[in-house]
């Protein structure tokens, strides 16, 4: 297995650039300026990652080593693919031996060593297709899924938390014993029922706010470590008649 990349502090662009296109709305100009001057955006370009989100995973891994022993990885809500890029590297996944499966209803450009499913994870066929694509039992399930925003904060929160719950249920059904689950959530919003379920199935459950997550963002990540394994199915009750 390849060594996981680390979260280093390198940038490639001078900070403080301004956007001069006069036709842009002030809000759009501010967003673009923030984006192009974001050191993590610059690092992503410099180091060949498709998005700044790569550094969120790398930071979490630096502390918690969730990529260390991963042989197979499933990436939910994977577009544009930066987490899958890392996953392919650490698992030594190749086109002849696929060990990473990624899914999103958004288009994802091909990534060497990654089986990409252009499909909504809520589609009933998605779980089986992911397991088939990754070629075995995954050691890590990643989820960066978030519902398309409506502009109504409470509604957006509920919809994204539902995706987190569905991803957690999937992880419990498919993970290898000792495996890990990492998912996007929101500050102060993880439901008690979800936390209770994860605590029953994993040895450690924690919330993380990596430094590469923008300070104004309400996103956090929910990490469940060391899956306890599934209990053997109980035998069916015998009919006395």
Tell me what the pLDDT averaged over the chain comes to.
83
How far apart, in whole angstroms, are the C-alpha atoms of residue 133 and residue 75? Answer: 12
* Chain centre to alpha carbon of residue 158: 18
User: Is the separation of the CB atoms in 46 and 11 below 8 Å?
Assistant: yes
Neighbours of 41 (CB within 10 A): 18
Q: Residue 202: pLDDT above 90?
A: yes
Residue with the larger pLDDT of the pair 2 and 176: 176
> Which segment, 9-13, 184-188, 230-234, is predicted with the most confidence on average?
184-188
Residue with the larger pLDDT of the pair 84 and 186: 84
* Token representation of residue 76: 């939910």
Neighbours of 25 (CB within 10 A): 8
Per annotation, catalytic residue among 3, 184, 209, 231: 184
pLDDT band at 2 (very low <50, low <70, confident <90, very high): low
pLDDT given at position 187: 66
3-state helix, strand, coil in the chain (%, to 5): 35, 20, 50
pLDDT given at position 40: 64
Residue with the larger pLDDT of the pair 237 and 188: 188
| Mean of pLDDT values over 33-41 | 58
How far apart, in whole angstroms, are the C-alpha atoms of residue 82 and residue 111? Answer: 9
| Mean of pLDDT values over 44-55 | 86
Q: Is residue 45 annotated as part of the catalytic site, yes or no?
A: no
The answer to whether the pTM exceeds 0.85 is no
Q: Residue 161: pLDDT above 80?
A: yes
Bind-site residues: 81, 83, 104, 120, 144
- DSSP one-letter code for 72: S
Exposed / middle / buried, residue 231 (Cβ in 10 Å: 0-12, 13-18, 19+)? exposed
Q: Which domains does the chain have, with CATH numbers?
A: 51-227 (3.40.50.150)
pLDDT given at position 4: 74
* Chain centre to alpha carbon of residue 27: 28
Bind-site residues for S-adenosyl-L-methionine: 81, 83, 104, 120, 144
Best CA proximity match to 75, nearest among 35, 125, 111, 124:
111
Q: Residue 184: pLDDT above 60?
A: yes
């Amino acid at each position: 297995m390849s060594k996981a990349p680390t979260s280093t502090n390198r940038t490639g662009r001078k900070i403080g650039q301004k956007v001069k296109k006069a036709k842009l709305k002030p809000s759009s100009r501010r967003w673009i300026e923030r984006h192009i001057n974001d050191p993590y955006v610059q690092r992503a370009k410099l180091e060949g990652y498709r998005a700044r989100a790569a550094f969120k995973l790398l930071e979490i891994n630096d502390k918690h080593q969730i990529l260390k022993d991963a042989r197979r990885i499933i990436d939910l809500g994977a577009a544009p693919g930066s987490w899958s890029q890392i996953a392919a590297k650490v698992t030594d996944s190749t086109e002849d031996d696929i060990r990473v499966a990624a899914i999103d209803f958004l288009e994802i450009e091909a990534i060497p060593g990654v089986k990409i499913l252009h499909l909504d994870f809520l589609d009933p066929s998605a779980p089986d297709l992911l397991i088939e694509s990754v070629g075995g039992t995954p050691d890590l399930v990643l989820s960066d899924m978030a519902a398309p925003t409506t502009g109504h904060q409470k509604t957006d929160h509920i919809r994204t938390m539902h995706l987190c719950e569905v991803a957690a249920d999937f992880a419990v059904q498919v993970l290898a014993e000792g495996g890990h689950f990492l998912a996007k959530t929101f500050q102060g919003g993880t439901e008690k029922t979800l936390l209770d379920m994860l605590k029953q199935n994993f040895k450690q459950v924690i919330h993380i706010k990596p430094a590469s997550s923008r300070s104004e963002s309400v996103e956090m990540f929910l990490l469940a470590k060391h899956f306890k394994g599934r209990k053997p199915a109980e035998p069916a009750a015998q009919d006395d008649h």
